[in-house]
Amino acid sequence: MSDPVIWGIHMARDHGLEPLQEGYVAIGWHKVGDLSLIAPNRDAFKEKVAEAYPETKPGAIPVKAGVIYRFAVEMKVGDIIIFPSKPDRMVNIGIVEGDYQYVADGPVRCPNRRAVKWIISLPRASFSQSALNEIGSAITLFQVSNHADEFLAAMEGKTFEADDIDEEVSAEQVSMQVEESTEDFITKRLKASQTPYQFEHFVAHLLKCMGYHSRVTQASGDGGIDIIAHRDELGFEPPIIKVQCKQILTTIGRPEVQQLHGAIENGEHGLFVTLGSFSPDARTFERTKPNMRLIDGPTLIELIYSHYHQFEPRYQMLLPLKRTYIPGPAVSDND
């Protein structure tokens, strides 16, 4: 029995989580039209891309044509597909269930679609850094080969020990990587280098950098409230903010958010901070409660970037970062 073909795919952030909720993957190049009408060979696809996008440099035509050819012709039902979703920073693994489809009114100008049965979604921190680098390819659709065993093990719910990876990434290494690698580094440090109680102190310090007076409650018997924050030094002036922290990478649902809201009294505010994400139901509940705010992993990282210069030395040692410049993404018709 031959090894399964594993594809990695990147979709525009504007898709959000709809591909996961609706069970599909999709790519752009809408000007090419229905790919099933093109003769199933690479030369025909190159000609069609050159015709649809005359401004494309000759050297780039084979690359673009290769992506849509692989999606329409080479990808088969039963192949495995890996989709790193940006909104929730998860790695989603599924199985291709359908042949190529052309959906003219597909969202984000991505009419080329295939049905997918999603099997598992795991936090990025569950994988080795080199595996994450492989699926961080700059190409929209590509084959995954170097870390196939690691991703297959993850899909089957098994653990996988990468014997050639040093997970203790240095600050110098991180500064040379792109944004996602830096975010992976921060997440892994906050998860692996602290206890849950230390993570609460980290969040409390971040709040202090944002202009709040904050104190961490006792490690036990806190009733679900981990931090009390307020603007004035004595804590008498409203609003009082009650904070719950979860040092986890999984998705938090509505019941846990409702539990925090139940601990908030009149005139108080609730803040839920996690390294992971929140379910759609939890987000819906948040929108109905003006005194609630949910901070997921990506938002927490943005706050860290904004206030890092105010961090005490011990937290800068925990997260040794330095400011640098990296090339920005080119804006193209296919993004």
If one counts every other C-beta atom within 10 angstroms of the C-beta of residue 293, the result is: 15
DSSP β-bridge partners for residue 26 = 113
DSSP, collapsed to helix, strand or coil, labels residue 91 as strand
Average pLDDT, the chain: 87
pLDDT score for 2:
67
pLDDT band at 86 (very low <50, low <70, confident <90, very high): confident
Contact 210, 273 (CB under 8 A): no
For 97-145, write each residue's pLDDT tens digit: 999 999 999 888 999 999 999 999 999 888 988 899 889 877 899 999 9
pTM over 0.85: no
pLDDT on residue 215? 92
Comparison of pLDDT for 184 and 6, the residue scoring more: 6
- CATH tag, 6-155: 3.10.590
The token pair at 310 is 């105010």
Give the model's pLDDT for residue 288.
95
Q: Where along the chain do its domains lie?
A: 6-155, 191-318
Predicted confidence (pLDDT) per residue in 259-268, tens digit: 999 999 888 9
**Predicted pLDDT of residue 189:** 93
pLDDT of residue 1: 55
pLDDT at 220: 53
- Amino acid 219: pLDDT: 59
pLDDT above 90 as % of the chain: 69
- Using CB atoms within 10 A of its CB, is residue 32 exposed (0-12), middle (13-18) or buried (19+)? buried
The rounded distance, in Å, linking the Cα atoms of 68 and 260 is 47
More confident residue, 21 or 179: 21
User: Which carries the bigger pLDDT value, residue 244 or residue 233?
Assistant: 244
Q: Which two tokens stand for residue 237?
A: 């002036």
DSSP state of 327: P
Question: Which residues lie closer than 8 Å to 166 by C-beta, 6 or more apart?
Answer: none
Q: Give the residue with greater pLDDT, 80 vs 128.
A: 80
280 or 2, which is more confident = 280
> Between 235 and 147, where is the model more confident?
147
266/283 Cα distance (integer angstroms): 21
- pLDDT top residue among 163 and 240: 240
Q: Supply the pLDDT for residue 175.
A: 40
What tokens were used for 333? Answer: 């018709």
Could you tell me which CATH number the domain at 191-318 has? Answer: 3.40.1350.10
Where is average pLDDT lowest: 56-70, 106-120, 284-298, 314-328?
314-328
Q: Which pLDDT belongs to residue 42?
A: 94
Tell me how far apart the alpha carbons of residues 216 and 197 are, in angstroms, rounded to a whole number. Answer: 9
Which of 12-16, 124-128, 276-280, 296-300 shows the lowest per-residue confidence on average (mean pLDDT)?
12-16
- Provide the pLDDT for residue 162: 62
